[in-house]
Structure 1
Amino acid sequence: MGIIIGISVAVLLLVGLIFLYTSPEFGARPTSDQEILFKTTNHYENGKFINLGYVDMQMSVQNFGKMLIGYLNQQQKTIPKRPLKVENIIASDLINYHGSTRMFWFGHSTFLLQIQTKNILIDPMFGAVPAPHPMLGTKRFSEHLPITIEHLPHIDAVIISHDHYDHLDYGSIIKLKDKVDHFYTPLGVGAHLESWGIPKHQIHELDWWQETQFENLTFACTPAQHFSGRGLTDKGKTLWSSWVIKSNNDNIFFSGDSGYGPHFKTIGDKYGPFDFAMIECGQYNTLWHEIHMYPEETAQAAIDVKAKHMMPIHWGAFKLAMHSWTEPVERLEEAAKTLQLDVITPRIGAPILLENTTENTQKWWK
């Protein structure tokens, strides 16, 4: 029996190693030439990117055990009792749109932004499970998306905040790559895209505080307090970020993933006020508070960046923490009352018109 168990464990380890080193899901690391460039920044040390103030998350074996036990606990209402209903998006309504700026939320942190006749995807995660294999994560809360990738219009640009699976999905990129003109990422993330067949000339990597013009739009890569990595040994090898998207009429902020820190006020002072801000609000825990905000901090971050209207994101699609699935938005609403913050909570798939956000505030999760 001992021999059989030993052989079984060895086989599982071998299969795991083969998967780890051969599956395209894990992407690729930046080249040595790129790493030389990274060394010129003030947030890259000893072969890794670092957070401002050296904020890090080093989880002990004991805390990892606590996380695993909590994650497996099904008594905290971490997933909805039944699949969430979403609003369907009609493909013909998206084609050749020339109206005012609008957005569509796909749950978690994925958006389609239609601005100045451009179609822009933000953190396009359309997969069913935010993991390198379906057995390694829980399924999306809804049975289907508002619209499939195949029915999306031509995409002018994709903006990516970092390389974690719930923000950068291999399967989604493979389906998208032939209908996208440009990809904008933080430093190093382009290596994943290149390994998945995206031509290098379509990839634009930016460092914190760098800006680029995309026709009549400005994209600014701004700091976040997080980390990166898709495998066991690549933590911090690529940069993570938030983003500013600015047109002649609208100023938009996307937080990506971030713990609370002084960078929000710095962003607000440099680029604010913002007409609309999408700020992470979910998947938090005391064990990793440094890299994911509590909802009350989300509200303060919206104040810091000087957001006229804000929307909680990073919730409503996947179970990645131990809190109930509605807790983030409920705690945020309470904090917003104290701070007199204008919060919108649109249903997944509903159009969000920046010039009239009042129609997008409803307690659909109840």
Structure 2
Amino acid sequence: MITTLIIIGLLVLAYLAFTTFYPSFGADISKEKQLTYQNSAQYKDGKFNNTKAVPKELSFKEKLDVAYYFFTTKVENGRPKEDLKVQKIDSIDVADYKGEARLVWFGHSAFLLQIDGKTILLDPMFGKVAAPHPLLGADRFNSEMPIAIEKLPFIDAVIFSHDHYDHLDYETVMKIKDKTKHFYTPLGVGEHLKAWGIPASKISELDWWQEIKFETLTLACTPAQHFSGRKLNNGQSTLWSSWVIQSKEENLFFSGDSGYAPHFKEIGNKYGPFDLALMECGQYNDKWSDIHMMPEETAQAGMDVRAKKIMPIHWGGFKLAMHDWKDPIKRVQAKAKQFNLEVITPKIGQEILVKEKKSYSNWWENL
């Protein structure tokens, strides 16, 4: 018994030391900062909450059961058999671009957006693993990026949807922070950025339904049904969101991570129709469908926000659930066809012109 207690004590001390001193875990939200969130309708009892009472608070045993299920369940075709090849883009092309609004997908939920002469990154996760340390996660599906992060030119803005590791990556932030003009986050996420050396003057934190002008663009922080946290003891300490990005000519929606809920219709009614909606579609499971949409729900959410076309995201990058890696894209295509909703499926690195009517190949079929 004494030996067991000593081992448990040492493990707890090791965890506390690791999460305290290893920088990728980010910041803990101070009591003073928490007081500033009291006016948010989402903040209650020291935590941010969804409109609907989800996700369910799991007991320690339930957390262990989910972890055991995740790490022991064998998934047929859970990841590509070979490294995904990407289309390359040139740093000069990015720096000198003056054309119509376009995006470049980096896999999962990461994008380069060029709009109104500005270069913007959405959830720029360029790291190798979606975890606080390289030994704690599996490698991403594409070992190369369309452009090396070091070769990215000046970045006007970075927009984050929430603080999970597959969206907010410490190493990526450290490489872009000195060449980025401004960062936009939901409430609390900016505290991580400040802990990593980014001045508060370069960070804007927004609550749901708040808007902010970024030069010629309007950015709106909109709801999502998800959760947050970068370690065991700080869950729901920061807010999660989707985003609306509007210029005079274009209207874009970026879903972040979300379960299917009425907020999609609310966003569509207030800000739609959208020229293009980037919609979460991947890393789902019946056990956590309240925080990650099933593919058929992704198509329905695209209809709800009144999108002219959707692009499925949150797939093609990491294995974070127990489904065939091609399952998300095939299922959402099938459901969208019933709605007569256009689905675009570019390769990683392929140029996406926001308003262009274009057919894309099913590039994953023979992989």
Do both share a fold (TM > 0.5)?
yes
Q: CA deviation at 1:293?
A: 0.3
Q: Does 1:38 align with 2:40?
A: no
DSSP-derived class of the 1:85 partner: coil
* Aligned pairs for 1:166-205 within 5 A: 166-205=166-205
Q: CA deviation at 1:43?
A: 1.3
Q: Could you tell me whether the CA contact under 8 Å between 1:63 and 1:287 is conserved in 2?
A: no
Q: Could you tell me whether the CA contact under 8 Å between 2:112 and 2:122 is conserved in 1?
A: yes
Q: CA deviation at 1:21?
A: 1.4
Q: Could you tell me whether the CA contact under 8 Å between 2:275 and 2:355 is conserved in 1?
A: no
* Aligned pairs for 1:304-319 within 5 A: 304-319=304-319
Q: Residues 89-115 of structure 1, C-alpha deviation per residue, up to 9 Å, x if partnerless?
A: 111111121100000000000000000
Q: Could you tell me whether the CA contact under 8 Å between 2:188 and 2:238 is conserved in 1?
A: yes
Higher mean alpha-carbon deviation, 79-88 vs 217-226, is at 79-88
Q: Does 1:347 align with 2:353?
A: no
Q: Does 1:19 align with 2:18?
A: yes
Match of 1:73 in 2: 73
Match of 2:94 in 1: 94
Q: Which amino acid in the other structure matches residue 259 of structure 1?
A: G
Q: Which amino acid in the other structure matches residue 227 of structure 1?
A: F
Higher mean alpha-carbon deviation, 104-113 vs 35-44, is at 35-44
Q: Could you tell me whether the CA contact under 8 Å between 1:57 and 1:290 is conserved in 2?
A: no
Match of 1:226 in 2: 226
Match of 2:116 in 1: 116
Q: CA deviation at 1:354?
A: 1.2
In structure 2, stretches of 5+ residues that fail to align are none
Q: Could you tell me whether the CA contact under 8 Å between 2:75 and 2:324 is conserved in 1?
A: no
Q: Could you tell me whether the CA contact under 8 Å between 1:246 and 1:252 is conserved in 2?
A: yes
Q: Distance in 2 between matches of 1:240 and 1:207?
A: 9
DSSP-derived class of the 2:96 partner: coil
Match of 2:151 in 1: 151
Match of 1:131 in 2: 131
Q: Distance in 1 between matches of 2:289 and 2:355?
A: 34
Q: TM-score, normalised by structure 2?
A: 0.95
Q: Distance in 2 between matches of 1:22 and 1:275?
A: 44
Q: Could you tell me whether the CA contact under 8 Å between 2:75 and 2:323 is conserved in 1?
A: no
Q: CA deviation at 1:324?
A: 0.8
Match of 1:140 in 2: 140
Match of 1:365 in 2: 364
Q: Could you tell me whether the CA contact under 8 Å between 1:71 and 1:322 is conserved in 2?
A: no
Match of 1:330 in 2: 330
RMSD (CA atoms): 1.7
Higher mean alpha-carbon deviation, 76-85 vs 301-310, is at 76-85
Q: Could you tell me whether the CA contact under 8 Å between 1:281 and 1:295 is conserved in 2?
A: yes
Distance 1:82 1:3, change over 3 A: farther
DSSP-derived class of the 2:36 partner: helix
Q: CA deviation at 1:76?
A: 2.1
Q: Distance in 2 between matches of 1:64 and 1:258?
A: 23
Q: CA deviation at 1:232?
A: 1.1
Higher mean alpha-carbon deviation, 146-155 vs 350-359, is at 350-359
Higher mean alpha-carbon deviation, 328-337 vs 72-81, is at 72-81
Q: TM-score, normalised by structure 1?
A: 0.95
* Aligned pairs for 1:261-276 within 5 A: 261-276=261-276
Q: Which amino acid in the other structure matches residue 37 of structure 1?
A: T
Q: Which amino acid in the other structure matches residue 140 of structure 1?
A: R
Q: Distance in 1 between matches of 2:255 and 2:232?
A: 25
Q: Which amino acid in the other structure matches residue 134 of structure 1?
A: P
Q: Distance in 2 between matches of 1:94 and 1:32?
A: 42
Q: Which amino acid in the other structure matches residue 140 of structure 2?
A: R
Match of 1:254 in 2: 254
Q: CA deviation at 1:154?
A: 0.5
Q: Could you tell me whether the CA contact under 8 Å between 2:26 and 2:196 is conserved in 1?
A: yes
Q: CA deviation at 1:142?
A: 1.2
DSSP-derived class of the 2:112 partner: strand
Aligned residues: 364
DSSP-derived class of the 2:343 partner: coil
Q: CA deviation at 1:313?
A: 0.3
Q: CA deviation at 1:135?
A: 1.5
Match of 1:57 in 2: 56
Q: CA deviation at 1:36?
A: 1.6
Q: Distance in 2 between matches of 1:69 and 1:42?
A: 35
DSSP-derived class of the 1:336 partner: helix
Q: Could you tell me whether the CA contact under 8 Å between 1:100 and 1:353 is conserved in 2?
A: yes
